[in-house]
Amino acid sequence: SDRIEMFGIEIDSLRMTGAVDRLMTWLNSETEATCRFVVTPNVDHTVLLQTSAPLRDAYADADLVLADGWPVVLASRMFGKSLPERVTGSDLIPALFRAADDSAPLKTFLLGAAPGVAQRAAVNVHKQYPNVQIVGTYSPPLGFENDVEENRQILERIADAQPQLLVIGLGAPKQELWIHKVRHQVAAKVAVCAGATIDFLAG
């Protein structure tokens, strides 16, 4: 699809339906590939991006960059380009779950949110989308990103669970920096940096 350059990053010009189609293809692909990842920039991120080279590197490495916020969509119009609509992480995950529920089972791992929250989310997801299997949940301790042993254990939990989809709810920019660093060791087809989505799923 088209990519529009704004704020020093490239944003995919896709609607929700186009993003879901793309992700379903990647999620169900049989070929071995590095874990693909999705970021959803909002205005806060675009401000951070101006001063953070590591975050720009992470964004440049993302396979799909979707405009989370209306201001980003409106800004694209001012530049004479045009993003079709906003696609937030917290809308994208339920849309993917609905698509999976109408087709093939989707094995999903929920990483992040406070202890216990992802387990509650798993119960709700199971009720609402029987075809979505939450194969693992984990809430990393504070400061995990600098702890080599903790990182090894997280990657091992994911590898043991064999998910197709990894939902990362660690907050921005932690989640984007983390997946950029470890994507080659993540045993999933697709990771979505999803902010507070696990909290929303927990209700």
Output 116 or 130, the one with its CB closest to ligand UDP. Answer: 116
Strand order in the sheet with 36-39: 64-65, 36-39, 190-193, 165-169, 106-112, 132-138
Using CB positions, name the residue nearest to ligand UDP.
Answer: 195
**Applying CB under 6 A, which part among 1-9, 54-62, 95-103, 171-179 lies near ligand UDP?**
171-179
Output 136 or 169, the one with its CB closest to ligand UDP. Answer: 169
- To the nearest whole angstrom, how small is the minimum distance from the Cβ of residue 89 to ligand UDP? 8
**H or E stretch at 167:** strand 165-169
Contacts for 60 with CB less than 8 Å, ≥ 6 apart? 9, 10
Task: Using CB under 6 A, pick the residue from 51, 53, 78, 142 that binds ligand UDP.
Answer: 142
Q: Which amino acid is at 164?
A: Q
Q: Which amino acid is at 87?
A: V
Of 12, 9, 10, residue with least CA distance to 56:
9
Examine residue 196 and tell whether it contacts ligand UDP (CB under 6 A).
yes
Task: For the segment 35-94, give every residue that binds ligand UDP (CB under 6 A).
Answer: none
Rounded to 5 degrees, φ, ψ at 63 are -80, -25
Of 186, 183, 117, 181, residue with least CA distance to 145:
181
- To the nearest whole angstrom, how small is the minimum distance from the Cβ of residue 30 to ligand UDP? 32
- To the nearest whole angstrom, how small is the minimum distance from the Cβ of residue 87 to ligand UDP? 15
**Do 199 and 113 contact (CB within 8 A), yes or no?**
yes
**Applying CB under 6 A, which part among 14-22, 30-38, 156-164, 193-201 lies near ligand UDP?**
193-201
Residues 94-133: x/- map of binding to ligand UDP (CB under 6 A)? ------------------xxx-------------------
**Do 194 and 169 contact (CB within 8 A), yes or no?**
yes
Binding site for ligand UDP (CB under 6 A): 112-114, 142, 169-172, 174, 195-196, 198-199
